Every structure is written in structure tokens, then in C-alpha cells.
Amino acid sequence: MEKTKPKLEWDKKYSVDIMEIDNQHKRMFATINELIGAIDDNTLKENLDGVINQLYQYKKYHFAVEEKYFKEFNYEETGEHIAEHKMFGERIDAIRKEFAGDSLKLAFELVDYLEDWLIEHIMTVDQKYKECFKSHGLK
């Protein structure tokens, strides 16, 4: 069987040069790849709920870490960044509701959205806090 799509690969260009956050981003890549793997291996029924749970845990934990640093470092673009986090959560909820009856469509929609959002978010929005965080001693 032909694979659905290539898995995401971490690249140095995605790095914000802060190990804690890069590791969290890498975990998100791995979660998306688990979802792609479940589609490819026809194991969605067994794995979809677990992957979605991982997404929610990631969202809760990772966003809390970033937002803690925003507050601690008085980051200038806190409001805009938190709004992005909120929109992410709302979109994931909307996808789950819209495709609740069709695991395959739900999985494809999630993969498409997550890949696009994650890459775009890391490459643009997260890069903006890089210097602020580093100037406060994060490595």
C-alpha cells in the first residue's frame, strides 16, 4: 500500500534555539507522524483517540510553558501570541465536531491543519520571541 503522505521531519530552520521549546515542538512533530502512521497502517480506530488526547495534552502543556515565559519576561506580543493559541484550540475542536462520524476524514483534516499550522506558527510567530527568551537566559 502506498503511503498517504511523507512524515514530518524536524529541520534546524524550525529551531527557536531554546531546547525546552524545541523539544516540545519535536514532540508535536512526532504526534502528527503518529497520526500519519495510523492512517497508513489502517489503525485509526485503535489510535485516533490516543493521538487526539496527545494533541490536547500538548496544547495545554506547551502553550502554558510559552505563556509563562511571556508573562515572566513581559513579552511585547503576548496578546497576539495567546490569540494564536486560542484559535488553534478552537480549530481543533471544530475539526473534531465536523468530522466526528468519519475517523479517516477527521484524521486527514487534522494532519493537514496541524502540519500547516505548526510549520507556519514555528516559522513566524514563535521566531518572534526567540531573542526575548534568549536575552532572559533561556537556552
Q: What is the pLDDT, as a whole number, of residue 6? A: 82
pLDDT tens column, 3-61: 567 889 999 999 999 999 999 999 999 999 999 999 999 998 889 989 999 988 989 99
Quick check: 64 pLDDT over 70? yes
Range 97-133 burial, b when 16+ CB lie within 10 A, else e: eebeeebeebbbbbbebbbebbeebbeeebeebeebb
- List the chain domain ranges: 17-135
Q: Residue 42: what are its φ and ψ, rounded to 5°? A: 60, 40
Whether the pTM exceeds 0.85: the reply is yes
pLDDT higher than 50, residue 66:
yes
- Read off the pLDDT band of 1 (50, 70, 90): very low
CA 45 to chain centre: 22
Cα separation, 44 vs 137, in Å, equals 42
Q: Which residue has the cell 513566524?
A: 124
> How confident is the prediction for the chain on average, in pLDDT?
92
pLDDT at 3: 58
What mean pLDDT is predicted for residues 103-130? 94
- 2 pLDDT higher than 60: no
Top CATH class, 17-135: mainly alpha
